[in-house]
């Protein structure tokens, strides 16, 4: 994928309280969230956040409750004004936009899906899905015609005339997704969009999203506090703690090299076989015979293949060319949970 940066967040600070500017200096000097609250009565929402978000990928932002995820995503469409910093989207400074430009940015360029759905209870599924288009100024019939495609795409055909209260949570969020997709915005902001759904429905919705993304290639910023979800859908993951980004990288990088105990604690229960790729455990030997696997294959799949082939080493290929091999034992030890995880004490919770 050609990497170009769609959204660039630079030195972003957000402080909640009566007079944020007055304590910005302290925050910039590195005062902790707890101290800032105790000594100055201000809440440090975001602290020196720097994230470059690739176009056409899924950027996950992860963190525990209160770590500032919602605050961060709301800066991107300026539902929240920062205390300091920059947000550049397609070379344009979001903070410099006039009211008119901001309205148009929200109408055409970035749409949003919410944890609590945020549907209009007095409008039908159809009208809710068409909401963004009517706000754009599109004529009602046209808006409904256009959005009905998305209603079908998210699997709600036949429910057009239902009211949100008549739908299950999963179906309501499908409406939320259809509403966001209908505006054709290039950027999709999703704030814990699937967190309110039960696990099976959540996996369903992730599939819906991934399928759509296959063909739509939007720039998706996806907030979650669930690592499995993050690993499953994220191309890149940024981890927030107390308003600061403590690690950013691909799922594999984060699992292999957790930046600190906070991250380590996050990843301790995940299924490593499903995240780690063969490339992380391969050696440079090139056996003459063996079954070929791509270096980006996850270990879980490679193990299947190795098992079916008498546990012999597999040949690792990159774009069809052999680049090394992977041993059965190496794969097994890679997916075992690292020793020290067991005794650590997550005192920061």
Ligand X SMILES: Nc1ncnc2c1ncn2[C@@H]1O[C@H](COP(=O)(O)OP(=O)(O)OP(=O)(O)O)[C@@H](O)[C@H]1O
Stretch binding other proteins (CB under 8 A), from 89-97, 127-135, 278-286, 327-335: 127-135
* 70 lies in the binding site for Mg ion (CB under 5 A): yes
Q: CB nearest Mg ion: which residue?
A: 70
Closest CA to 253 of 268, 238, 233, 242: 238
Strands 5-16 and 84-89: antiparallel
Return the number of the residue (69 or 179) whose C-beta is nearest Mg ion. Answer: 69
From the list ligand X, other proteins, Mg ion, none, which binds 219 (C-beta under 5 to 8 Å, kind-based)? none
Distance CA 89, CA 56 (A): 13
Distance of alpha carbon 189 from alpha carbon 257, whole angstroms = 28
Q: Report the distance separating Cα 299 and Cα 307, nearest Å.
A: 12
Which of ligand X, Mg ion, other proteins, none does 136 bind, CB closer than 5 to 8 A by kind?
other proteins
Q: Which is nearer to ligand X, 79 or 102 (CB)?
A: 79
Residues 129, 179: Cα–Cα separation, whole Å: 4
Which CB, 134 or 279, lies closer to other proteins? 134
| Using rule CB under 8 A, residue 114 touches other proteins | yes
Determine if 83 is a binding residue for ligand X (CB under 6 A): no
**Are the C-beta atoms of residues 189 and 110 closer than 8 Å to each other?**
yes
- C-alpha 73/C-alpha 147 separation (Å) is 25
Q: Which is nearer to ligand X, 59 or 71 (CB)?
A: 71
Interface pick for ligand X out of 8, 16, 118, 134 (rule CB under 6 A) = 16
Binding to ligand X in span 216-235, by CB under 6 A: 225
* Least Å from the CB of residue 131 to other proteins: 6
Of residues 54-83, which lie at the interface with other proteins (CB under 8 A)? 77, 79
Q: How far is the CB of 317 from Mg ion (least distance, A)?
A: 42
Which of Mg ion, other proteins, ligand X, none has residue 22 at its interface (CB below 5 to 8 Å by kind)?
A: none
281 Rama class: left (phi>0) / alpha (psi -120 to 50) / beta: alpha
| Residues in contact with 170: Cβ distance below 8 Å, sequence separation at least 6, in sequence order | 197, 198, 201, 204, 205
Which partner, ligand X, other proteins, Mg ion, none, binds residue 172 by CB below 5 to 8 Å per kind?
Answer: other proteins
Among 51, 112, 177, 303, contact with other proteins (rule: CB under 8 A):
112
* Token duo for residue 85: 């910093």
Q: CB–CB of 111/181 below 8 Å? A: yes
Report if residue 213 touches other proteins, rule: CB under 8 A: no
- Interface characters, 128-167, with other proteins (x: CB under 8 A): ---xx-xxx--------------------------xxxxx
Least distance from C-beta 68 to ligand X, angstroms? 4
Q: At what angle do helices 299-308 and 328-335 cross, to 10 degrees?
A: 140
Contact with ligand X (CB under 6 A): which of 5, 8, 28, 43?
Answer: 43
Tokens at 334, concatenated: 């890679």
Pairing of strands 43-54, 5-16: antiparallel
Smallest separation, CB 103 to other proteins (Å): 5
Which partner from the list ligand X, Mg ion, other proteins, none does 328 bind, CB cut-off 5 to 8 Å by kind?
none
Binding site for Mg ion (CB under 5 A): 70
Binding site for other proteins (CB under 8 A): 77, 79, 103-108, 111-112, 114, 116-122, 131-132, 134-136, 163-169, 172, 179, 183, 189
Binding site for ligand X (CB under 6 A): 16, 43, 45, 63, 65-71, 225
């Amino acid at each position: 994928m050609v990497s170009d940066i769609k959204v660039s967040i630079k030195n972003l600070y957000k402080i909640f309280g009566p007079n944020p500017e007055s304590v910005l200096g302290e925050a910039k000097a590195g005062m902790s969230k707890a101290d800032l609250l105790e000594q100055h009565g201000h809440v440090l929402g975001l602290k020196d956040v720097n994230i470059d978000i690739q176009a056409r990928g899924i950027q996950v932002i992860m963190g525990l409750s209160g770590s500032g995820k919602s605050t961060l995503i709301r800066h991107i469409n300026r539902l929240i004004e920062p205390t300091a910093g920059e947000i550049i989207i397609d070379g344009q400074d979001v903070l410099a936009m006039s009211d008119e430009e901001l309205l148009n940015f929200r109408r055409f360029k970035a749409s949003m899906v919410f944890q609590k759905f945020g549907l209009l209870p007095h409008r039908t599924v159809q009208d809710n899905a068409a909401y963004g288009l009517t706000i754009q100024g599109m004529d009602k019939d046209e808006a409904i015609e256009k959005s009905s495609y998305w209603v079908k795409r998210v699997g709600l055909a036949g429910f057009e005339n239902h009211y949100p209260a008549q739908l299950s949570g999963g179906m309501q969020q499908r409406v939320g997704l259809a509403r966001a997709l209908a505006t054709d915005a290039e950027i999709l902001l999703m704030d814990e969009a699937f967190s309110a759904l039960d696990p099976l429905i959540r996996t369903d919705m992730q599939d819906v999203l991934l399928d759509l993304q296959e063909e739509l290639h939007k720039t998706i910023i996806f907030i979650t506090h669930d690592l499995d979800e993050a690993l499953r859908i994220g191309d890149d993951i940024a981890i927030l703690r107390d308003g600061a980004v403590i690690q950013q990288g691909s799922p594999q990088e984060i699992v292999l090299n957790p930046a600190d105990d906070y991250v380590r604690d996050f990843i301790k229960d995940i299924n490593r076989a499903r995240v780690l790729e063969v490339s992380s455990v391969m050696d440079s030997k090139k056996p003459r015979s063996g079954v070929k696997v791509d270096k980006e294959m996850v270990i879980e799949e490679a193990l299947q293949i190795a098992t079916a082939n008498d546990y012999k080493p597999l040949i690792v290929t990159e774009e069809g060319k052999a680049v090394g091999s992977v041993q059965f034992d190496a794969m097994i030890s890679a997916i075992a949970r690292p020793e020290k995880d067991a005794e650590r004490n997550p005192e920061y919770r």
